[in-house]
Structure 1
Amino acid sequence: MDISAEDVLAVHQLYGRQSHAIDSGRAADWAATFTADGEFHSPSYPDPAIGAAELTAFAERFHAGCVDSGEVLRHVVSTVEVIPGGPDTLTSRAYLQIVGTPTGEASRLHRLTTVVDDLVRTPAGWRIDRRVVLRDD
């Protein structure tokens, strides 16, 4: 099954919206890039966030930690591979770098990870149904 250029572009746009939302503290907007019962699993955090309320709370805590530390964090998604699934599903693999810049200091790489997303086409466009983050330690 081929993937349309329109769908690949839509996945890239989804990742752009998601990165800008979490970096700017728009927690509900970040959570809205997932399905209503979407899942976020990462070895960097003790428990997964599942569902809109938990996803929003996770993003709120993440951004509050950045504000408290005085560091600006940026999520940089690259090397995106979109793999066909069923008629309204895709899988995506991408590298995610989290870069931090403390006030008045040089930027540094916090983490380099791989994200593996199960994506679902919804009436609002592509959304992440399940994200698994793999750390490159």
Structure 2
Amino acid sequence: MTVNAELYAEVQQFYANQMRLLDNLKIEDYAATFTPDGWIEHAHRNERAEGRATMIAGMYAALPRYKGVVVRHWYDHLVIEPSDGDSLKVSYYTLVTRVDKEGHVVFEPTFTVDDVLVRINGVLHTKSRYIVKDTPTD
């Protein structure tokens, strides 16, 4: 199914706003971009956070890892598929960078992410996020 340019741009804008919240450590605001029962699963760590409160607690626990660095999440190659009702399945690649005070850049591993987005009062929210670390298949 073809996705029109308006919807594609809306989804890109959603992610741009969502990741700026995360990168600027506005954790509660970032969590609010998820549905109240939303979840994030990091398959490579066998770790799943269900609900906003659990997400927030996990992000605060991870803050020491990001002390003294600027973190940026880079998303690209979005594939958007309309799904049940008004939901969207979105698959994309992501790269995370960390820059220290001297300007040295560290690249995190790349990931493939599968989201389900839903509308609440006309506004997109993430219902689920499934994150897989990219690893070669021999």
TM-score, L = length of structure 2: 0.87
1:81 aligns with 2:40: no
Cα distance change, pair 112–74 in 1 and its aligned pair in 2 (3 A): same
Deviates more, 1:19-28 or 1:51-60: 51-60
Q: Considering only aligned residues, what root-mean-square deviation do their CA atoms show, in Å?
A: 1.8
Measured in 1, the distance between the counterparts of 2:60 and 2:132 equals: 22
Q: Letter of the aligned partner of 1:96 in structure 2?
A: T
Name the residue aligned to 1:30. Answer: 30
Over residues 86-119 of structure 1, what are the superposed CA-to-partner deviations in whole Å (9 max), with x where a residue is unaligned? Answer: 2211100111101111221421211210110011
Identify which range, 52-61 or 1-10, moves more after superposition.
1-10
* Correspondence 1:91-106 to 2 at 5 A: 91-106=89-104
Partner of 2:134: 136
1:27-61 deviation line (CA, Å, top 9, x unaligned): 01111111110000013545311111112222323
Identity %: 27
Question: Partners of 1:52 and 1:6 in 2: how far apart?
Answer: 29
Gaps of 5+ in 1: none
- Which of 109, 112, 116 pairs up with 1:111? 109
Give the corresponding residue for 2:118: 120
Distance 1:28 1:124 in 2: 21
Measured in 1, the distance between the counterparts of 2:61 and 2:9 equals: 30
Is contact 1:22–1:59 with CA below 8 Å preserved after alignment? no
Cα distance per residue 1:11-42 (max 9 Å; x no partner): 11111111111111100111111111000001
In the alignment, the residues of structure 2 paired with residue 125 and residue 64 of structure 1 have an alpha-carbon distance, to the nearest angstrom, of 32
Structure 2: tracts of 5 or more residues without a match: none
1:72 is aligned to 2:73: no
Q: Is the 8 A contact 1:115 1:131 kept in 2?
A: yes
On the 8 A contact 2:92/2:114 being kept in 1, the answer is: yes
Matched to 2:106, the amino acid is: R
Aligned residue number for residue 20 of structure 1: 20
Corresponding residue SS for 1:48: strand
Alignment of 1:56-71 (within 5 A): 56-67=56-67, 70-71=68-69
Equivalences, count: 135
Q: TM-score, normalized by length of structure 1?
A: 0.88
